[in-house]
Structures are given as C-alpha cells and as structure tokens.
Amino acid sequence: MHAASFIRERRIVLEDTLLDNALDLQSILIHELFHFVWSRLGNLARSEYQELVRHELKDGTKGEMGESAGVAKCKLQAGDDDLPKSRWKNYVCESFCDTAAWFYGSRTNKHFMTLPRTKLLRRELWFGQRARLRA
C-alpha cells in the first residue's frame, strides 16, 4: 500500500517513496482524492457508475483500470452486487478511483491497466459527460 484516505478526518497519507516517481505519485494522489469525490458524488451518479461496472461483470469482462480495483474485483463473489454493504461497494469505489486516476492523470502510467479498450472507452465517456473540470 502506497497511500490511504481517511474521509472522516479529511486526510490522505502517502508513502514518502512516491516522491521518487512522479507518475506513480500523480496517479496515486488522484486516486486518493477521488475517494473524497466518491463520498460526495450523489446517489444518481454513483448508481450510474455501479450499473456501468455491473454490466461489465455480467459481460464477463476481465481486467481493471488499476491495481486497487483489480484486487477488489478478484475478491468478488457471485451475488455481491446485490448486497447493500459488501465487497461490491468497495470494488465499485476502487474502480471509480482507479478510472479517475487514469482520466485526470497523464494516461501514460499503464502499469496495472488491464481493462479491454472497449470498456475503457465507455468509462472515459461516462467520466467525460460528468466532468466539470477537465485539464
């Protein structure tokens, strides 16, 4: 683990070793910032993103946009997407944050990106349609 977000404390902790790699620092910091975005995103947008990811799973899509989501996806079990509090919610949040790190980051740090291009384009469209600030 290179970083952690503490939403209630409004705090992010980063390992100092990230200072040695600007791309990793950028990607991980954006990912952690988007944990705060996810917590304030609103039910409609969260539901839309959950449905996007739920369709990927039902299609049998392999891969993810980052290591955090990939690990969380591997822990999913059948029926998790129907539970109110579960591994599913953790996975969806990590998927959102990893995708945001790619969307708002340099897009060159592809170390853990394994999501097929067609699914990546759908997520890019979803983020693009909802983005208020785009660098």
| Token representation of residue 74 | 């591997």
Give the integer Cα–Cα distance in Å for 89 and 82: 10
How much is the CA Rg of the chain, to the nearest whole Å? 14
Phi, psi of 56 (to 5 degrees): -60, -45
Percent of the chain clearing pLDDT 90 (strictly above): 53
- Neighbouring CB atoms inside 10 A of 9's CB total 8
Which pTM was predicted?
0.86
Residue pLDDT, tens place only, 36-55: 999 999 899 999 999 999 99
| Range 96-101 average pLDDT | 95
Domain borders along the chain are: 3-130
pLDDT of residue 47: 93
| Token representation of residue 49 | 């993103």
| Token representation of residue 22 | 């600007």
